[in-house]
Chains A and B, each alone.
Chain A
């Protein structure tokens, strides 16, 4: 099994068309938890389809409660790292969409320089990436940083 072509990775809007500014702006309009989480659920549903054939152990992100898979391709021209993520939990998928908006289609140096914690803090979602939450999101972020460190 080979990974999807780089073009398929590049088709993801997160981190390209959809920017952190967009999400921050949307969040400002949403004033209660129901609206905010409905938006996160929508983000989760809008993640590009993840190839079923890649849902295997080597792409598995070990979390506690939900299953998370992550694959990546590097564009040899500009060194940008393209990511695809999936989970069987929709809120985790939605939060993965936020992570992708922040870290997808970035160079290794850009990823390493990003303060993801402060962005999650601004979105009032920091609890989801805290060390005490066993949802795999923190492991997801650590893995992306490790991929960046290798490339």
Chain B
């Protein structure tokens, strides 16, 4: 990766053409990056360049374009390996995204589950880290055990030792909550799981956009994330798995690419990572993701995190200006995600009226219905900040909320 430069917000914003537009007559304020982040021009250029110059199918080897496409595609895998510090490129598997990544793991691990085996998931999980495990439990007779959270939206850490027992086989938790913004102490959790002989699966979708992740330091068995929340294209995501875990996992889908030899007498599977990559992969998306990671590599990450935390602190400082505003998720360690309610307003009312002012937020249950039930709310409004947001964006949000609140009085 190339040299790191200082954090210059104006220069960064000039890399995101999409942010420079009016919505409903007002300059766009994009505060929905936790749903899908915007992509810098460098990502768009990389995809464009790939299709204009290098496009062909990969791993076919008969011509120059095929060689170039394969080199581009496989260098993206190397780039991801380096980014999350995996031990080997064999440990990086492409998927469509986080959801498919968890399905791949749950499907594979379910083959070794027996009736009565236990899978721990937390109450703050996204549906993508609940439903695949429920499906695995349904197929095998395994049982889902739910790890509770406290009022602030933090895992009840002292519960883990009670949850872990000889029947526990898998622990699937999120690194960062998409609703609450809570950063879970994954390293310590994995350590306890490992000591109990439990396989750990970490949903990193909301973590990787905000801070550097080192999978070897975390020591987790699996770590998954999506490109589109990491400022890359939609349609591609990653399973990181320790090599021995991936070797033990059966293939997910059958087809081309994932085989070594096929005959009607029997088929042998390809080696890692290709064993899990049936069919023509998302090549241009891998190229785009690589460009996104390289883009992040050129930003001073410590300054970027400080900038994001600065935005969140400014937001926190303005909450009291909005009568009836209540935060959902007040953990000590958070990424800049703010879920909230305003008394007398439905989250959808807030979303509609902010959109009128050019401000994009997410409203609803955020694919985390069990968490909504826990807080006994129909949903929340959620403003999520990325490094390309500014203090002016935060102020526009709060000026907008104050205006809206008055309309309902």
* From A37, A38, A41, A67, contact of B378 by CB (8 A): A67
Q: Which chain A residues border B364 with CB–CB below 8 Å?
A: 64-65, 134
B residues in contact with A135, CB < 8 Å: 348, 352
User: Judging by beta carbons under 8 Å apart, are B353 and A88 in contact?
Assistant: no
Q: In the complex, what distance in Å separates the CA atom of A111 from the CA atom of B202?
A: 52
Interface residues of B in 328-384 (CB under 8 A from A): 345-349, 351-353, 356-357, 363-364, 378-379
Q: Which residues of B contact A87 (CB under 8 A)?
A: 346
With both beta carbons as reference points, the residue of chain A lying nearest to B356 in the complex is identified as: A33
Checking B349, B378, B379, B403 against A91 with a beta-carbon cut-off of 8 angstroms, the contacting residue is B349
For window 371-407 of chain B, which residues contact chain A by CB distance below 8 Å?
378-379, 403, 407
B363 contact set on A, CB distance < 8 A: 65
A87 to B347 CA separation, bound complex (whole angstroms): 12
B346 A90 Cβ-Cβ under 8 A? yes
Contact of B407 (CB < 8 Å), options: A37, A65, A134: A37
Whether the Cβ atoms of A91 and B356 lie closer than 8 Å is no
Which residues in B have their C-beta under 8 angstroms from that of A88? 346, 378
For residue B408, CB closer than 8 A to chain A, the reply is: yes
What are 14 A-B pairs at a CB distance below 8 A? A33-B24, A37-B352, A37-B353, A64-B364, A65-B347, A65-B348, A66-B346, A66-B348, A67-B378, A87-B346, A89-B347, A91-B346, A91-B352, A135-B352
The 10 tightest CB contacts between A and B, nearest first, are A89-B346, A65-B348, A89-B348, A33-B356, A65-B364, A66-B348, A91-B349, A91-B352, A89-B349, A38-B407
A92 touches B356 (CB 8 A): no
Known pairs A89-B349, A92-B348, A135-B348. 5 more at Cβ < 8 A? A37-B352, A38-B407, A41-B407, A65-B379, A89-B347
A-B contact count (CB 8 A): 46
Q: Is A31 an interface residue (CB 8 A)?
A: no
B71 to A: closest C-beta gap in Å: 39
Residues of B participating in the A interface, judged by any CB pair closer than 8 Å: 24, 345-349, 351-353, 356-357, 363-364, 378-379, 403, 407-408
- Minimum C-beta distance from B356 to chain A (A): 4
Cα distance A92–B345 in the bound complex, in angstroms: 11
A138 CB to closest chain B CB, in angstroms? 14
Flag if B403 contacts A34 (CB, 8 Å): yes
Interface residues of A (CB under 8 A from B): 33-34, 37-38, 41, 64-67, 87-92, 128, 134-135
A92 vs B255: C-alpha distance when bound (angstroms): 47
Contacts of A92 in B (CB 8 A): 346, 348-349
- Most chain B beta-carbon neighbours within 10 Å: one of A87, A90, A135: A90
CA distance A116 to B346 in the complex (A): 25
A90-B349 in contact (CB<8A): yes
Between A33, A91, A135, the greatest number of chain B beta carbons within 10 A of the residue's beta carbon is seen for A91
For the complex, give the distance between the alpha carbons of A88 and B349 in Å. Answer: 10
CB distance from A76 to the nearest CB of B (A): 37
Contacts of A65 in B (CB 8 A): 347-348, 351, 363-364, 379
Task: Tell me which residues across on chain B come within 8 A of A128, comparing CB atoms.
Answer: 352
Instruction: Give Cα distance in the complex from A66 to B364, angstroms.
Output: 8
The complex places the Cα of A38 from the Cα of B407 at a distance, in Å, of 6
B365 and chain A: residue at smallest CB distance: A65
B408→A41 contact, CB < 8 A: yes
**A residues near B379, Cβ cutoff 8 Å:** 65
CB distance from B32 to the nearest CB of A (A): 14
Minimal Cβ-Cβ distance residue in B for A44:
B349
Chain B residue at smallest Cβ distance from A95: B352
Chain A residues near B347 (CB-CB < 8 A): 65, 89
Q: Across the interface, name the chain B residue whose C-beta is closest to A87.
A: B346
Residues of A within 8 A of B24 (CB): 33
A104 and B91 alpha carbons, distance in the complex (Å): 61
Give, as a whole number of angstroms, the nearest-CB distance from B68 to chain A: 38
- Residue of B whose beta carbon sits closest to that of A34: B407
Chain A residue contacts of B407, Cβ below 8 A: 34, 37-38, 41
Chain A residues with CB under 8 A of B408: 41, 90
Complex: A37 Cα to B354 Cα, angstroms: 12
Residue of A34, A67, A87 most packed against chain B (CB within 10 A) = A34
Max count, chain A CB within 10 A of own CB: residue among B346, B349, B353: B349
Write out the residue numbers on chain A whose beta carbons fall within 8 Å of the beta carbon of B348. Answer: 65-66, 89, 91-92, 135
Q: How far is the CA of A113 from the CA of B353 in the complex (A)?
A: 32
Bound form: Cα–Cα A65–B408 in Å: 19
Chain A residue contacts of B378, Cβ below 8 A? 66-67, 88
Question: Complex Cα distance A128/B349, Å?
Answer: 12
Q: How far is the CA of A128 from the CA of B364 in the complex (A)?
A: 16
Taking the nearest CB of chain A, how far is it from the CB of B242, in angstroms? Answer: 38
**A66 neighbours in B (Cβ, 8 Å):** 346, 348, 378
Tell me the minimal C-beta distance from A43 to chain B in angstroms. 13
